Structure 1
Amino acid sequence: MNRAMKRQALGIAMLATALHVGASATAMAQSRNPATPARPAAPAAPAAAAPAQAAPVADEGAAVKGTEIVARVGGSDVTAEEVRATIALLDARQQAAMARDPALLSQTVRAILANRLVLKEALAKKWDQQPTVVAQLARTRESLIVDSYLQSVTSPPDNYPAEADIKNVYEANASAFLVPRRFRMAQIVVTLTKDADKAAEEAARKKLDDIVKKIKQPGADFAALARSSSDDAASAERDGEIGWVAEPDLRTEIRSQVTGLPKSGIADPIRLEDGWHILKLVDTEASHTRPLVEVRDALVQRIRTERVEANRRAYVAELLKQTPPVVNEIALSRLLEPKGEAAPR
């Protein structure tokens, strides 16, 4: 396998991993109910949020899409297009979080307004004329020009990749899109820490024995027992349910019990760091490969990104070939010497 194919395989594996994130919760990994999905990270604000003045209500007939003013502070306006541009800089997870929580959009706008106030004050004090700032701006400008130019000359055509290529890459990396077997589970927890005294241990054991006895009775209602008896309030509110969990995410001591259960089966109590867990297998989903239609958009984006990277390397290599650089290695090595020390001559 050549380097290009290895890079593509690695890229596809990373893509598959990203696509699987959120597909199932991680159960019993670190805490009592680690299967609860983590909240998506809020978009990073450019600066601390500041109170914003209400923007004037514009005439809907006169408002131009994209240039409509959505906020104002200190005589500076923020348009809808500027907000869209800021959102476009966020990653997919942050954008999804913003779509679910409109408050995050308001925070983003307020952060833009806060930046405007700081910028206004900095310019009034001629901060942009500081030598270090001037040098940083020059480097930033240079990087922006180089990056945007390379992007323009290395981007593949809009119709790339062809459907046949997409299918070939998908089939060659089908194993990367394999979704492992998943289990939908519910639990009843009896808390008992490792440092509990004898009295607490006896009380927990008595409660556990009582719950197990009730579960084994004909017609026992696991959900009702979870609501009334489980020490894990979060899952108890959901009739003990902890949701879907992928097989690789199960702790070893849990996997050995759950994988052998029939649907609606209840495992023997399992002792973990925080106490006893009585698990019920609500449902099972067999392992399967995600279909092409489901991963196509992300796969196309990955293929295009890899092509851009390859084109960029080739373009720069050709420039260097046409104009070979000359580097003074001796002078370069001196840059690493501590200040005040001279290299022996």
Structure 2
Amino acid sequence: MTYRIFTLALLAGTLYAAVASPAMAQTRNPPQPAAPRATPAPAAPAAAQPAPATQDNAAVKGGEIIARVGDSEVTAEEVRATIQLLEARQQAAMARDPALLSQTVRAILANRLVLKEAAAKKWDQQPAVVTQLARARDTLIVETYLQSVTAVGDSYPSEADVKGVYEANASAFLVPRRFRLAQILVNLAKDADKAAEDTARKKLDDIVRKIKQPGAEFGAIAKASSEDTASAGRDGEIGWVAEPDLRTEIRGQVTGLPKSGITDPIRLEDGWHILKLIDTEASHTRPLADVREALVQRMRAERVEANRRAYVAELLKQTPPVVNEIALSRLLESRSDAKPDAAPSR
């Protein structure tokens, strides 16, 4: 369960928008590791108070006051603790852009203001809030306890383990064959009228005639005639494309071309495509050195998840649960009956 420092600010969206820039929002939610995670319960206001910093600066003491709003102060230690709750990628982004650190402190101060106002209005005593606080507390206890009893030691995985998994899953690290291509496009919609089709066909025939002339330069023709505005300025080059990403109609011609070979015109939905094969990169398996870090993280995450399942299964084995299935089914039926009738279809 990952607690975020922006809980209250997110609940008060306009307030957060005033203290956190889009750049900060982008660094807050990077792609997560592959390991499954339990869905956290709604965060409690009390837990929303941030804490902490990332870089150990000898000049900044833990108790030194970093910021103040009203009678509430934020210390260096609190900022440091807050940053340590962020994902590694978020911390790296903050290290690259010091402005993000200032935004983090401002978000902490904003949370403090909201929390103070909510406390003054005894918001934490609202029945719904009390219920959510209790659930958040239970979830936090469960998650942190499970993390402590299912943690994986630093020695796992061993180099032999990593190598074994890499070799057993070599196909997962296979990079398919790639083609470096250039193209000339003559636009023609599928539902084009005869006049437009005749015009496009005339232009296409003229391009094919130029390409077949001795010494013809495909790039020059593409720059002068291609209607693909994205690639025409680059002599028609569209870059590297993996074989599985090629349209079937294109793949059938490109895979049989020699280097610098040119396809016949290929009709697709947007018009006629003529492609040139500039270069080919054979398929290959990414070396272990390139994937080792990601592989280790995945293995550790999977081991933690396996430990978690085994631990919970053992608890359930020691104290088997009893479920009243009949009462449960009645509960589901009552919930179904309580739903409003669906709107009539039109």
Shared fold (TM-score, shorter chain, > 0.5): yes
Q: Contact (CA 8 Å) 2:181, 2:238: kept in 1 or not?
A: yes
Q: Give 1:110 deviation, angstroms.
A: 9.9
Are residue 51 (structure 1) and residue 18 (structure 2) matched? yes
> Residue 244 of structure 1 aligns to a residue in which SS?
strand
Q: Deviations over 1:194-237 (max 9, x none)?
A: 12122211111122122222222233222222222221111223
What amino acid is the match of 1:51?
A
Are residue 284 (structure 1) and residue 283 (structure 2) matched? no
Higher relative contact order (CA 8 A, sep 6+): 1
Are residue 131 (structure 1) and residue 131 (structure 2) matched? no
Aligned partner of 1:211 in structure 2 is 207
Aligned partner of 2:28 in structure 1 is none
List runs of 5+ in structure 1 lacking aligned partners. Answer: 1-44, 55-59
> Residue 336 of structure 1 aligns to a residue in which SS?
helix
> Residue 170 of structure 1 aligns to a residue in which SS?
helix
1-structure distance, mates of 2:128, 2:333: 23
Aligned partner of 2:87 in structure 1 is 88
Q: Give 1:85 deviation, angstroms.
A: 4.7
Pairing 1:52-131 to 2, within 5 Å after superposition: 52=19, 62-63=59-60, 81=80, 84-85=83-84, 87-88=86-87, 109=104, 112=107, 116=111, 119=115, 121-131=117-127
Are residue 249 (structure 1) and residue 245 (structure 2) matched? yes
What amino acid is the match of 2:177?
R
Higher mean alpha-carbon deviation, 223-232 vs 118-127, is at: 118-127
2-structure distance, mates of 1:77, 1:278: 63
Q: Give 1:138 deviation, angstroms.
A: 1.3
Q: Deviations over 1:2-54 (max 9, x none)?
A: xxxxxxxxxxxxxxxxxxxxxxxxxxxxxxxxxxxxxxxxxxx9445533499
Once the two structures are aligned, what percentage of the paired residues are identical? 69
2-structure distance, mates of 1:190, 1:151: 59
Q: Give 1:264 deviation, angstroms.
A: 1.4
Q: Contact (CA 8 Å) 1:73, 1:113: kept in 2 or not?
A: no
Q: Give 1:147 deviation, angstroms.
A: 1.1
Q: Give 1:317 deviation, angstroms.
A: 1.5
Q: Contact (CA 8 Å) 2:65, 2:73: kept in 1 or not?
A: no
List runs of 5+ in structure 2 lacking aligned partners. Answer: 1-8, 22-56, 338-346
Q: Contact (CA 8 Å) 1:215, 1:221: kept in 2 or not?
A: yes
Q: Contact (CA 8 Å) 2:184, 2:275: kept in 1 or not?
A: yes
Q: Deviations over 1:230-272 (max 9, x none)?
A: 2111122333222211111111100001001111111111110
2-structure distance, mates of 1:190, 1:108: 50
Pairing 1:325-336 to 2, within 5 Å after superposition: 325-336=321-332
Q: Give 1:181 deviation, angstroms.
A: 0.8
Q: Contact (CA 8 Å) 1:72, 1:113: kept in 2 or not?
A: no
2-structure distance, mates of 1:177, 1:133: 48
Aligned partner of 1:188 in structure 2 is 184
Aligned partner of 1:224 in structure 2 is 220
Aligned partner of 1:143 in structure 2 is 139
> Residue 323 of structure 2 aligns to a residue in which SS?
coil
RMSD: 3.7
What amino acid is the match of 1:134?
V
Q: Give 1:77 deviation, angstroms.
A: 6.0
Equivalent residue pairs, number = 286
1-structure distance, mates of 2:232, 2:65: 48
Distance 1:103 1:231, change over 3 A: farther
> Residue 302 of structure 1 aligns to a residue in which SS?
helix
Q: Contact (CA 8 Å) 1:50, 1:110: kept in 2 or not?
A: no
Aligned partner of 2:265 in structure 1 is 269
Distance 1:321 1:286, change over 3 A: same
2-structure distance, mates of 1:206, 1:190: 10
Q: Contact (CA 8 Å) 1:264, 1:283: kept in 2 or not?
A: yes
Q: Deviations over 1:155-208 (max 9, x none)?
A: 111010111111111111112211111111111111111121222111111221
What amino acid is the match of 1:212?
V
